[in-house]
């Protein structure tokens, strides 16, 4: 194996303020009730972040309502679209800075933020900008109406990308928003607030408030919110679905997953190995659609596992700012503890865990890429979302068994199929209960392509025309 | 003088006509308070049996071609047309409606089946898409039925509300357990005789009669139900909270109009899941 010289990206491009308030009505409030946000790879403090109280939430919703009534709902779609195009361009201009900021606050490798997260953020705004003056063609008839104020709560795994998935379609459809980023990764959302200022976006159209779960709950419960969009755990999604019962609020939920990545005996094995690696180790496995259950046809298990382990030996874990790093830091101590606990349980229940021998940095939160073999369908690591770089391996003999095992989960977000046989791909794809199916590829995302789950992985779609509909009122 | 042979009104589960396992019935009267029939009071066990039947029937129905499903729905319209007089008479007996009113309702119900039948092979043309992603990928989004749906027909409609509840659910390949209007269940029961003679596979539509309040909590919290249509329920907030436990799709009361001969594409799509498939283009 080659040794790589360190190739760190300079962090000089990014300056964080020492403390941040909320972004409400186009201005930052005075920081209050602050907590520290850190870099999970070094545990270094990056900035002080405010915790929004119910009063702050109310202020933000009022600002969004006022902007909706007085400005945004009166603008033509074409003008709204132009603001979104401006935002897309500024994101492209500041792409490297945003990538570094994201890597610092989240812990994911710079090659991912630089090549995946941030380009997708710009693409998302560019895509939905073009919808703003074409809503008549969205599918709800002529002149469909926006909901009004959208409350959006997003997770820490793709902080700015999740923001883009939420804000771009909401604004294109004519809504105004109050968005709460995750408590551990607020910084790129706050940089985005500056971008809104640079774009001259009317005050109050986008409001960003920071804080913990209570802030999110207060926001979703606010009486003057018309639309709720949440990405996060199934547990919280369930609470939200209960919380909004009996209201007129519309809701979309993007929740957990336990995707099967199915490898048939005729699959192109080297490509499949790359797909498996990408499926579970991309973003340290902090991906709701991660291919966390490898279903491999029994006859090729030994050969595939040999190739997979050999490939895992070459993964580079370490400084996320290093351009050669494949696996960065786990986002938080809490998440690291959860992963550790679940893997231990997986071994206790009969699985065999294996990880390449990689050096773990002394500071920060890290977990070596891990594969657990000999996993039964009833084992915890085959049923629960680990949300870390941990792959559970199960086997099957026939396509029917593969489908039955793949569908044997309350989740239904994504799945992978690896085979050279086109007719098999089409049949298996038909039978899998999952919202996104990657055949001979994995973890592809695009603003034109709807994303979202079946069953307990949530409801509604993000991306594409379908994603736009979630932010418009349907006719009956 | 010849004595009428009266009908025993039963449930419709898995294509069969069982009585309730509980043996309970309730008395149905006309607006003058006169006895009309003893109707089955379905129990929660009946509801569970109906879900099992629906789950068993669903994959086969989904797997039928869209052309086939369309023909079956059209066949239901044909069978209903042939029994128009019987439905008119039952509606009049139970509600006191005039012949013109009752006939209007039955005709709307027949036409609604025809309207829905035509959607089976058009939904994906209208609501699916080929997605122009920025890379060398074939990327397509289609719509797939949600699975098993528990539905509560509107309480104040004999037939057309029920048809506008069932048809949008089953046209795309879902199976349904539907609870009929508590006070107006006769048309629902007679409709099951139509369904049973329309080439509709047993278990795709299961009809329960009885008290909505007795059945709805169990169906809304049932782990093997994917969506609930709460139209005819009396405590939808409680039911929505129960449904949230397994993140069922919830259709709140009043979401769709159910009185006419034209349905709503959005109502059909409310019981469908968008599935997106990616494949590389290359070599």
- Distance (Å, whole) CA A199 – CA A45: 29
The candidate with the shortest Cα–Cα distance to A251, out of A473, A402, A400, A470, is A470
pLDDT tens, A318-347?
999 999 999 999 999 999 999 999 999 999
Interface ipTM: 0.96
Q: Give the pLDDT confidence score for residue A3 in this predicted structure.
A: 80
Average pLDDT, chain A: 97
Q: Give the pLDDT confidence score for residue A135 in this predicted structure.
A: 98
Do A294 and A391 meet the contact criterion of CB atoms below 8 Å apart?
Answer: yes
pLDDT tens, B176-197?
999 999 999 999 999 999 999 9
Which residues of chain A are within 8 Å of residue B236 when distances are taken between CB atoms? 246
Which residues of chain A are within 8 Å of residue B126 when distances are taken between CB atoms? 139
B273 part of contact set with chain A, CB < 8 Å: yes
Do A175 and A68 meet the contact criterion of CB atoms below 8 Å apart?
Answer: yes
pLDDT tens, A134-178?
999 999 999 999 999 999 999 999 999 999 999 999 999 999 999
pLDDT tens, A37-72?
999 999 999 999 999 999 999 999 999 999 999 999
Residue from A230, A254, A423, A448 whose CB has the most chain B CBs within 10 Å, to mutate: A448
pLDDT at position A475 over 70: no
Residues A225-250 have a mean pLDDT of 96
Reported pTM:
0.96
Instruction: Indicate which residue of A254, A384, A456, A462 is catalytic.
Output: A254
- Distance (Å, whole) CA A383 – CA A237: 18
- Distance (Å, whole) CA A444 – CA A321: 23
Q: What is the dihedral of CA A44, A46, A47, A52, to 10 degrees?
A: -90
pLDDT band at A126 (very low <50, low <70, confident <90, very high): very high
Do B231 and B152 meet the contact criterion of CB atoms below 8 Å apart?
Answer: yes
The candidate with the shortest Cα–Cα distance to A30, out of A21, A38, A39, is A21
Distances (CA, A) of A140 to A135, A168, A466, B127, B265: 8, 19, 11, 11, 10
For A446, the token pair is 């695009």
Tokens 């580079």 sit at which residue?
A316
Q: Do B139 and A446 touch (CB under 8 A)?
A: yes
Q: What is the dihedral of CA A35, A36, A37, A40, to 10 degrees?
A: -130
Cβ-Cβ contacts under 8 Å for A247 (sequence gap 6 or more): none
Residues A348-370 have a mean pLDDT of 96
Looking at the complex, report in whole angstroms how far the Cα of residue B225 sits from the nearest Cα belonging to chain A.
10
pLDDT at position A1 over 80: no
Q: Do A459 and B247 touch (CB under 8 A)?
A: yes
- Distance (Å, whole) CA B20 – CA B176: 18
The candidate with the shortest Cα–Cα distance to A436, out of A418, A456, A461, is A461
């Amino acid at each position: 194996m080659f040794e790589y010289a360190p190739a760190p990206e300079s962090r000089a491009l990014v300056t964080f303020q020492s403390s941040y308030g909320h972004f409400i009505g186009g201005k930052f409030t005075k920081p209050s009730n602050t907590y520290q946000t850190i870099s999970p790879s070094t545990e270094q403090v990056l900035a002080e972040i405010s915790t929004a109280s119910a009063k702050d939430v109310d202020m933000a919703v009022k600002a969004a309502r006022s902007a909706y009534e007085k400005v945004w709902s009166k603008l033509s779609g074409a003008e709204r679209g132009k603001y979104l195009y401006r935002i897309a361009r500024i994101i492209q201009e500041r792409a490297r800075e945003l990538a570094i900021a994201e890597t610092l606050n989240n812990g994911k490798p710079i090659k991912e933020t630089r090549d995946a997260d941030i380009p997708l953020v710009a693409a998302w705004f560019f895509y939905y900008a073009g919808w703003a003056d074409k809503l008549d063609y969205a599918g709800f008839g002529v002149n469909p109406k926006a909901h009004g104020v959208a409350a959006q709560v997003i997770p820490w795994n793709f902080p700015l990308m999740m923001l883009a998935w939420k804000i771009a379609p909401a604004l294109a459809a004519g809504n105004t928003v109050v968005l709460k980023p995750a408590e551990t990764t607020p910084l790129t959302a706050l940089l985005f607030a500056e971008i809104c200022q640079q774009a001259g976006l009317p005050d109050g159209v986008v409001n960003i408030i920071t804080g913990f779960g209570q802030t999110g709950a207060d926001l979703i419960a606010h009486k003057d919110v018309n639309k709720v969009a949440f990405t996060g755990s199934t547990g919280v999604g369930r609470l939200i679905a209960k919380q909004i019962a009996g209201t007129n609020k519309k809701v979309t939920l993007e929740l957990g997953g336990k995707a099967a990545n199915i490898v048939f005996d005729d699959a192109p094995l080297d490509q499949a190995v790359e797909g498996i690696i990408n499926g579970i180790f991309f973003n340290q496995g902090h991906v709701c659609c991660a291919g966390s259950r490898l279903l491999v046809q029994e006859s090729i298990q030994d050969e595939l596992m040999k190739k997979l382990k050999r490939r895992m030996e070459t993964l580079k874990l370490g400084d996320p700012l290093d351009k050669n790093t494949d696996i960065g830091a786990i986002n938080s101590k809490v998440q690291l503890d959860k992963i550790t606990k679940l893997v231990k349980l997986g071994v206790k229940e009969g699985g065999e865990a294996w990880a390449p021998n990689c050096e773990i940095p002394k500071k920060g939160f890290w977990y070596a890429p891990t594969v657990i073999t000999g996993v039964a369908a009833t084992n915890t690591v085959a049923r629960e979302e680990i949300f870390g770089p941990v792959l559970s391996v199960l086997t099957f003999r026939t396509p029917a068994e593969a489908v039955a095992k793949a569908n044997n989960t309350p989740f239904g977000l994504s799945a992978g199929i690896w085979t050279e046989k086109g007719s098999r791909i089409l049949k298996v794809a038909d039978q899998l209960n999952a919202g996104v199916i990657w055949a001979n590829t994995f973890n592809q995302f695009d603003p034109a392509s709807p994303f979202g789950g079946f069953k307990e992985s949530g409801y509604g779609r993000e991306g594409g025309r379908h994603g736009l509909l979630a932010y418009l009122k349907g006719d009956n | 003088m010849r004595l009428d042979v009266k009908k025993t009104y039963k449930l419709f589960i898995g294509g069969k006509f069982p009585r309730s396992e509980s043996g309970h019935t309730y008395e149905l009267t006309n607006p003058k308070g006169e006895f009309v029939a003893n109707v089955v009071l379905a129990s929660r066990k009946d509801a569970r049996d109906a879900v099992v039947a629906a789950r068993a029937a669903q994959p086969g129905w989904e797997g039928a071609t869209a052309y086939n499903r369309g023909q079956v729905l059209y066949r239901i319209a044909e069978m209903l047309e042939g029994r128009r007089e019987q439905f008119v008479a039952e509606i009049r007996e139970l509600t006191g409606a005039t012949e013109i009113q009752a006939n209007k309702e039955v005709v709307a119900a027949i036409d609604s089946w025809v309207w829905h039948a035509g959607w089976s092979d058009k939904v994906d043309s209208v609501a699916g898409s080929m997605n122009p992603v920025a890379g060398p990928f074939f990327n397509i989004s289609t719509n797939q039925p949600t699975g098993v749906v528990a539905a509560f027909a509107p309480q104040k409609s004999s037939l057309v509300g029920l048809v506008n509840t069932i048809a949008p659910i089953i046209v795309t390949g879902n199976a349904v357990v539907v609870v009929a209007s508590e006070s107006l269940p006769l048309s629902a029961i007679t409709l099951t005789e139509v369904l049973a003679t329309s080439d509709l596979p047993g278990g795709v539509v299961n009809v329960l009669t009885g008290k909505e309040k007795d059945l709805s909590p169990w169906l809304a919290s049932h782990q093997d139900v994917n969506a609930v249509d709460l139209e005819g329920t009396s405590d939808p907030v409680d039911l929505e909270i129960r449904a949230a436990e397994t993140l069922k799709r919830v259709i709140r009361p009043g979401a769709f109009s159910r009185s006419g001969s034209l349905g709503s594409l959005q109502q059909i799509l409310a019981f469908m899941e968008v599935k997106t498939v990616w494949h590389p283009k290359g070599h």
